[in-house]
């Protein structure tokens, strides 16, 4: 699992060099690759990493496994495109409203839901998201089962409607950087320790003075806000959302899977998981000609099954295992 990795002093310098190199590579590679298909995958990886990292605050660090995060994603996506449909706003201008709605929802449903333990919590979050989906499907003003679209033609840069995937890559990447910086800062301070303690043993944590309910709720609020923003960005890029693409269970599960695959409760786990899953999905899609045949998800599902079978702790587990072997050999 997310075994505590304890940095030792001499390695710290090496880490910095490695970090800067990785960042440079992340910034530069899309410019070096001309293929738009691959650039597009890069943008989608960032988008997926964004939502999975937001989920990670609640599901990974605090260990409260929500399978209803699509609720917040949908808030963001719908706020953006409804802002356009109703008032002709640029989609991204709807983002603050999506975030506000998400925060409000998280406040209202968070307190009772976060009291539930284990599977009960997961089930309640599924039910909440499904509830939202059914309401939207049956409300024509919200686009009903058909969904809502953004501007057909870009009117200004504010519409964030670009032909090349590159701007999206950098926009999503910047937001992700902000989120990861926050997560990093949080994980080193009291909040990070408290959330991990809650995940480990909530009762014991409370006996040490951890106000568990308050911290879980705060994590949920931050997580909801970023998930909603991801939804808005998604809507700006795709220009369309319907109940399945904006509020379907599969989307919630994808957030969980991306984070769990790379390592839930680790800083870069969601990014690593996304960097594996999204290309996998896009490439099988391309190879077998779209989702219609279903092959994509058969392959996708099979790989998830294999990973859970052979590395139940996610890839982070393989990584710690390899490192443990390495140090044993080396020292």
Partner 1 sequence: MADDAPLLEARDIVVAFGSFRAVDGASLAIRKGEIIGLIGPNGAGKSTFFNCLAGERQPASGSIMLRGRDVTRASPEDHALLGLARSWQVPAVFDDMSVHENVMVGAFLRHPHAAEAAAAADQVIDFTGLRPVARARSGSLGTPARKRLEIARALATEPEILLLDEALAGLTPTEVRAAIDLVRQIHARGITLVIVEHVMEVILSLAHRAVVFNQGKVIAQGAPRDVVQDPGVIEAYLGRSLSRKPPA
Partner 2 sequence: MILAQVVLNGFLVGAVYALFSSGLTLIWGMMNVVNFAHGDFVMIAMYVAFVAFTMLHLGPAIFVPLAAIMLFLLGVLVYYALVRHVMRGPMLAQILGTFGLALVLRYATLWVFSANFVSLPENLLGEVQTFAGLRLEPSRVAAGLAALGLTIGLHLLLTHTALGSRLLAVAEDRSAAMLVGIRPDPMQALAWGLGAACTGVAGALIALFFYITPTVGESLALIAFVVVCLGGFGSVPGALVAGLAIGIIESLSAFWIGPAFKDLVVFILFLAVLWFRPQGLLGKA
**Which positions lie near partner 2, rule CB under 8 A?**
1, 59, 65, 67, 112-113, 115-120, 122-124, 126-128, 130-131, 134-135, 137-138, 249, 253, 256-257, 260-261, 264, 292-298, 300-305, 307-310, 312-314
Distance CA 97, CA 99 (A): 5
Q: How far is the CB of 180 from partner 2 (least distance, A)?
A: 20
200, interface contact from partner 2, partner 1, none, CB < 5-8 Å by kind: partner 1
Which of these ranges, 23-31, 102-110, 195-203, 229-237, lies near partner 1 under the rule CB under 8 A? 195-203
Distance CA 61, CA 189 (A): 13
Distance CA 110, CA 96 (A): 20
Number of Cβ within 10 Å of residue 11's Cβ equals 10
Q: How far is the CB of 306 from partner 2 (least distance, A)?
A: 8
The DSSP line for 104-165 is HHHHHHHHHHHTS-HHHHHHHHHHHHHHHHHHHHT-GGGTTTT-EE--SS--SGGG---SSS
Q: How far is the CB of 310 from partner 2 (least distance, A)?
A: 8
Q: 3-state class of 67 per DSSP?
A: coil
Give whichever of 194 and 234 is closer to partner 1, judged by the CB atom: 194
Classify residue 132 by burial, with Cβ atoms within 10 Å: 0-12, 13-18, 19+.
Answer: buried
Q: How far is the CB of 199 from partner 1 (least distance, A)?
A: 7
Q: Indicate whether 3 belongs to the interface with partner 1 (CB under 8 A).
A: yes
Give whichever of 262 and 265 is closer to partner 1, judged by the CB atom: 265
Q: Indicate whether 115 belongs to the interface with partner 1 (CB under 8 A).
A: no
Q: Are 196 and 210 in contact (CB under 8 A)?
A: no
* x-or-dash string of contact with partner 1, 202-221, rule CB under 8 A: -xxxxxxxxxx---------
Distance CA 32, CA 3 (A): 36
Q: How far is CA 268 from CA 176, 179, 182, 263, 272, in A?
A: 11, 11, 13, 8, 6
Q: Indicate whether 118 belongs to the interface with partner 1 (CB under 8 A).
A: no
Among 196, 225, 296, 319, binds partner 1 (CB under 8 A): 196
Residues in touch with partner 1 (CB under 8 A): 1-4, 6, 188-190, 193-194, 196-197, 199-201, 203-212, 265
């Amino acid at each position: 699992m997310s075994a505590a990795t304890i940095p030792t002093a001499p390695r710290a310098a090496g880490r910095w060099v490695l970090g800067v190199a990785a960042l440079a590579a992340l910034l530069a590679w899309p410019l070096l690759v001309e293929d738009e298909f691959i650039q597009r995958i890069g943008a989608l990886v960032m988008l997926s990493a964004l939502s999975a990292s937001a989920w990670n605050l609640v599901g990974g660090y605090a260990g409260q496994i929500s399978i209803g995060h699509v609720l917040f994603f949908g808030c963001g996506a719908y706020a953006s495109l409804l802002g356009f449909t109703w008032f002709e706003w640029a989609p991204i201008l709807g983002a603050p409203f999506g975030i506000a709605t998400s925060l409000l929802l998280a406040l209202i449903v968070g307190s009772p839901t976060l009291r539930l333990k284990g599977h009960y919590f997961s089930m309640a979050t599924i039910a909440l998201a499904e509830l939202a989906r059914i309401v939207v499907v049956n409300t024509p003003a919200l686009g009903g089962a058909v969904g809502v679209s953004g501007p057909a033609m870009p009117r200004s840069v504010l519409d964030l409607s670009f032909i090349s995937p590159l701007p999206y890559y950098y926009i999503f990447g910047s937001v992700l950087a902000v989120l990861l910086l926050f997560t990093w800062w949080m994980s080193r301070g009291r909040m990070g320790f408290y959330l991990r303690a809650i995940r480990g043993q909530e009762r014991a944590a409370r006996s040490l003075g951890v106000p568990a309910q308050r911290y879980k709720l705060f994590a949920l609020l931050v997580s909801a806000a970023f998930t909603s923003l991801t939804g808005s960005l998604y809507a700006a890029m795709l220009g369309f959302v319907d109940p399945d693409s904006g509020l379907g269970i599969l989307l919630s599960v994808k957030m969980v899977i991306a984070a769990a695959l790379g390592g839930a409760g680790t800083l870069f786990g969601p990014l690593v998981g996304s960097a594996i899953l999204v290309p996998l999905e896009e490439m099988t899609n391309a190879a077998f000609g779209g989702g219609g045949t279903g092959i994509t998800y058969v392959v996708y599902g099979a790989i998830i099954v294999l990973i859970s079978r052979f590395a139940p702790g996610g890839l982070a587990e393989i990584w710690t295992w390899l490192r443990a072997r390495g140090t044993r050999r080396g020292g």
